[in-house]
């Protein structure tokens, strides 16, 4: 049986290790990709060494984004399997306006998450929700053409919510906003495993 294991990229360097402590300017720049911090190599490698599933994988697919590629390279140090890149695993695209300074002043990171997820669902200041769902489904179809049975896919936090919804529902049809809001946020290096039919 084919296993597709999605993993959120590794821990980021410096202050970017904890998004809830960042200032508005940093969060906005992260969301719209004006800031692209590197992976904290030591911390990420240390925590990856404890993941026994890494020894079971046959292949790695990462997004095109730097933090995902860096994570994939650390994983290759632990298990030197073939690595390819897929834009279908990229983070959801955001535009300036996705958050406002007042949102950060709420001092409640859950409020900020809710606002961003609502914008994703309504395709406001973000990639169209329909397109996000379709590229995930397109990626799943692509994995069916791969001969390997245990594939590790390095991706991103907001995108992981779509994967979690798919795992829970077996489909991305007729998703409502409450379902999206209730998906638990993926921490760095969290995994979701699915078995495509």
Domain range annotation of the chain: 3-194
* DSSP assignment of 66-130: HHHHHHHHHHHHHS--EEEE-GGGSPPPB-TTSS-HHHHTT--HHHHHHHHHHHHHTTSSBS-HH
pLDDT under 50: residue ranges of the chain: none
Give the single-character DSSP code of 12: B
Per-residue pLDDT at 101: 87
**pLDDT score, position 106:** 66
Are 118 and 150 within 8 A, CB to CB?
no
Considering all CA atoms of the chain, what is the largest pairwise distance in Å, rounded to the nearest integer? 49
Instruction: Note the pLDDT of residue 107.
Output: 62
- Residue 110: the pLDDT is 85
How confident is the model at residue 109, as a pLDDT? Answer: 78
Considering the domain delimited by 3-194, tell me its CATH architecture: 3-Layer(aba) Sandwich (3.40)
**Are the beta carbons of 190 and 8 closer than 8 angstroms?**
yes
Say how far apart CA 109 and CA 97 lie, in whole Å. 17
**What local confidence, expressed as pLDDT, does residue 160 receive?**
98
The closest of 91, 84, 103 to 145, measured between CA atoms, is 84
Residue 13, Cβ neighbours under 10 Å: how many? 14
């Amino acid at each position: 049986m084919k296993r597709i294991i999605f993993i959120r990229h590794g821990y980021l360097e410096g202050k970017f290790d904890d998004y809830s402590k960042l200032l508005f300017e940093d969060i906005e720049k992260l969301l719209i990709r004006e800031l692209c911090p590197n992976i904290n190599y030591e911390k990420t490698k240390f925590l990856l060494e404890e993941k026994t599933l890494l020894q079971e994988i046959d292949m790695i697919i990462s997004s095109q984004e730097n933090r995902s590629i860096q994570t994939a390279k650390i994983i290759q140090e632990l298990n030197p399997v073939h690595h390819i890149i897929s834009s279908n695993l990229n983070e959801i695209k955001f535009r300036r306006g996705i958050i406002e300074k007042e949102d950060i002043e709420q001092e409640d990171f859950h409020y900020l998450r809710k606002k961003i997820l609502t914008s994703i669902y309504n395709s406001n200041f973000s990639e169209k929700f329909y397109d996000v769902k379709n590229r995930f489904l397109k990626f799943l179809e692509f994995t069916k053409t791969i001969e390997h049975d245990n594939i590790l896919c390095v991706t991103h936090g907001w995108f992981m919510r779509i994967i979690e919804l798919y795992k829970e529902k077996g489909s991305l049809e007729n998703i409502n906003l409450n379902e999206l809001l209730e998906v638990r946020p993926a921490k760095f290096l969290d995994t979701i495993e699915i078995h495509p039919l």
